[in-house]
Amino acid sequence: PPELTMPVDLQVAYNDAQIFFHYRWPARQPHVFTDLLRYSQGKWQRQLSTPIGTDPDGIYEDRLAMMVDDGSVPEFQRYGGYITVGANMRDFTGSGPDAAHRRKYLPATRRDPNEWYSIVDQATLESQRRAGYFLDLWHWRAHLSNPLGRSDDQHVAWYRLYDSGEPLFFSNWDVDKGQPRWMFDLESSGVRALRWEDVAGGRRDESQPYYLLAATAVPFDATHEWGEGDVIPGQVLREPSGSRDEIRVQGEGRWADGYWDVTLVRALDTGHPLEDKVLRDQGVYSIALSVHRDARASRWHYVSLPLQLGLGRQAELMATRFTGPMPDWSRVDTREMTLFYPGQVSWKHLSSARHAGSKYIAKGVPVKYRHKETQLAQYGVEMEFDREIRRQWALSLIAGVLLVASFVFSISLLF
């Protein structure tokens, strides 16, 4: 991405029952569309692509995610999200199409932490889960969760998993018929479909809906005379249930004057200890953030180093305790965080001899003691072009040797 770092302001407050996280980050414009169905050249087509980089049509929703741990994953508090990135992950250069299913996982869920298919037996996985060896993942999405006033609830263990319960959305694409299943209700929304020229580039007509709700959608009418450029959302939103329904958006996630403001709230104890971390007064926890913005998909996101969060105890950021239903944010401390572009740096590389700092990782030295965010961003870029850099280094070395040899030969001829 053109910028290798970005700022995020974070505030945290809690009472006897709930914890609130308020995030604020810059974005040139809001991107609230994803996975669209477009009528073009006489047929419906799924406008679903996650290119590595900026989506050329600006169709990729803004997102914020936060991983939370209670100390049960000790590597996380030292190295953050790096520990979840295995070798040859999907969308990594050279990973190939067979890596499409390779997503985040924790090292101890593998017999060989660097081998995707070496998953430990089911009994061990269940024991790890009961011991808290998983990361709680909060996932706010501008299109697929924000309209419902929710954040999706997931967790990372042997895989990036969804929490139990009904999901927030389901597919609107009928594979057999090659058309949508549902469409907007003309009476309640004023339109049957959106127009491509109104949504391309991430634009949004405030007078029209940009998401499709299961409660108000109507069955798709294949007999209607659809026009070139008609657009219908590719996902239908519905009320979640169970553990998927634990994280709410306080108020509404809003974009204004170049900034997103999002407040997420959750019970300290959701009653789902195998999927959600239980948060308690006097506890210290580790968190790490990631942000997608400017219609940048796939791994073109920004991540943070792990941050210690204290609830009534000293930590890098201390949550503010309050009484009543809502915190007064003017009285809550703000932590200015710097997020950075991580590139294609895997845990396999970081813990290998190729990484000069692997000896510090072996000793458990936290990454923040050795590197700043700007350094890590630059390191990520260098790793992304590792082959090209090494090839250029080799060519320069060969050219240098030839130059020295030719100089010696020339001197010999002179004498």
* Entry pTM: 0.93
pLDDT of residue 50: 67
pLDDT of residue 94: 81
% of the chain with per-residue pLDDT over 90: 86
Phi, psi of 20 (to 5 degrees): -120, 135
CA pair distance 192, 194, nearest whole angstrom: 7
Q: What is the DSSP string of 323-342?
A: -SSS--GGGS--EEEEEE--
CA pair distance 295, 238, nearest whole angstrom: 24
Q: What is the DSSP string of 394-415?
A: HHHHHHHHHHHHHHHHHHHHH-
Phi, psi of 35 (to 5 degrees): 55, 75
CA pair distance 308, 306, nearest whole angstrom: 7
pLDDT of residue 49: 66
- Identity of the amino acid at 380: G
Do 191 and 184 form a contact (C-beta atoms < 8 A)? Answer: yes
Size of the chain, expressed as the number of residues it contains: 415
Do 103 and 160 form a contact (C-beta atoms < 8 A)? Answer: yes
Do 6 and 339 form a contact (C-beta atoms < 8 A)? Answer: yes
Side-chain-side CA neighbours of residue 301 (13 Å) = 19
Q: Mean pLDDT of all residues in the chain? A: 94
In tens, the pLDDT along 339-355 reads 999 999 999 999 999 89
The pLDDT confidence band at residue 56, using thresholds 50, 70 and 90, is: confident
In tens, the pLDDT along 147-180 reads 999 999 999 999 999 999 999 999 999 999 999 9
pLDDT of residue 335: 97
CA pair distance 393, 395, nearest whole angstrom: 5
Question: Residue 253 has which token pair?
Answer: 């996630």
Q: Hey, which bits of 225-301 come out as E strands?
A: 230-233, 235-237, 247-249, 254-256, 259-267, 284-292, 296-297
363 pLDDT exceeds 70?
yes
In tens, the pLDDT along 174-196 reads 999 999 999 999 999 999 999 99
Q: Are strands 135-141 and 320-321 parallel, antiparallel or unpaired?
A: unpaired
In tens, the pLDDT along 267-323 reads 999 999 999 999 999 999 999 999 999 999 888 999 999 999 999 999 999 999 999
In tens, the pLDDT along 194-214 reads 999 999 888 888 888 999 999
Rg of the chain (C-alpha set): 24
CA pair distance 171, 237, nearest whole angstrom: 9
Do 136 and 69 form a contact (C-beta atoms < 8 A)? Answer: yes
% of the chain with per-residue pLDDT over 70: 99
The pLDDT confidence band at residue 53, using thresholds 50, 70 and 90, is: confident
- Of 109, 226, 106, which is closest to residue 178 (Cα–Cα)? 226
Tokens 């019970």 locate to 267
1 pLDDT exceeds 90?
no
